Amino acid sequence: MAFVQHKYFFICFIIFNSLHSLVLSQNVQRLPAVERLTDRFPTTLITQGMATLYGASNIRFNGSYVDIRLDKSGGSGLFSKDTYYHGFFSVSLKVPKGITSGVVLAFYLSNSEVFQSNHDELDFELLGHESKSQWVLQTNMYVNGSIRGREERIHLWFNPAHHFHQYSILWNRHHIVFLVDNIPIREIRNAGSMAYAYSLKPMTLYTTIWDGSNWATDGGKYPTDYKYAPFVASLGELKIEGCVVSSTSLPVAADVVCSNNATISNLDHVEGAGYATLSKQQTTALNWVKRKHLFYSYCNVNERTKYRECYGH
C-alpha cells in the first residue's frame, strides 16, 4: 500500500511539474515577437566608448563589462567620449540585487553640460524597489530645459536583477524609440503637436547610479537603506552608432555636420527609411506594452493642458 501511495505521489509530482513548465513556457511565448534591432550594430568595449564621470573608486572594470556602485560614500557614473547628433544607443544592464529602495540606475542622453539653461534629455531610469513591489522602469524626455518632464512608467515583465537585459534608444529626425530587449516600450514622433518639443540638439551618453531617496520608490516613501549597500549594477554590450559631433563645434545650430563630413540628410542607415517608422511587428509589441505594463503617463496628470501632444495621438 505504501508503495502504491508513493508511486501515486510521484506521478502527481511529475504531472504538476510538467504543467508548471508548460505554463512558464506559455508565458514566455506570450512575449511579442520582434526583430533584434541590437543585432544590426557592433559592440563597443566600455573602455573604448566611455570614460569615468564621477565616483572612480566605485567603478570596477571587468573585461568587457563594468560594475558601478552606490554606497555611503556616493554613487558613480560613466559618460561617452563622443557627443552625438542622433543615433542608436544600447547597453546590457543588470541592476543591484536585494532591497534597493531609493536607488536609481540611469542610462540616458543629455546635453546639460553645454546647454545649461535649455538642455535636452532622454532617460531610462530603473527605480529601486522595496521587498514586495515590482521593478519600475521610467522613461522621460526633457526638451529645452523644461522644468517638467514627460515621464512614462511601466512594470517590467522580468526581474532585472537576475540576468542582463538590453536597454536601447533610437533617436533620429523621425522619432525617438525606447526599447527593452528589442521590444519598443515607447515612441515619440517628431510630427504634429509633438514637433514643437522634440530633442534636436547634440547629446552625450551617460550611465549612472545614485541615491534618489526623495522620489524614486513610491514617491519617496521608501528611502535608500545603506545597510544593504553596496548597491552594484553591471553593464556591458555597449552599442553606439550615430553622427559624432566635434566638441569644438558645440554649441551648434540645426545644420550639424558630422565628423565624417556628411550632413544629417546623408547620414548612414540610422537616419534611413528602415528606421523612420516602427514595423508592424514593433507596433504590435508597443501596443502590448501599453496594454499590459504601462501604469503611468504624463498625459494623465491633472494639468494635461500643458501637453499639447497628449491630444490626438
Q: Would you please indicate which residues are annotated as catalytic (active-site) residues?
A: 121, 125
Place of cell 514595423: 279
Q: Is the dihedral of CA 122, 146, 172, 278 positive or negative?
A: positive
Contacts of 178 (CB under 8 A, 6+ apart): 122, 124, 139, 167, 168, 169, 184, 185, 186, 187
- Cα–Cα distances (Å) from 210 to 69, 195, 224, in that order, read 8, 32, 10
The C-alpha cell that represents 27 in the structure block: 508565458
Q: Does residue 95 contact residue 67 with C-beta atoms inside 8 Å?
A: no
For the chain, the maximum distance between any two Cα atoms, rounded to a whole number of angstroms, is 86
Pairwise CA distance, residues 63 & 61, whole Å: 6
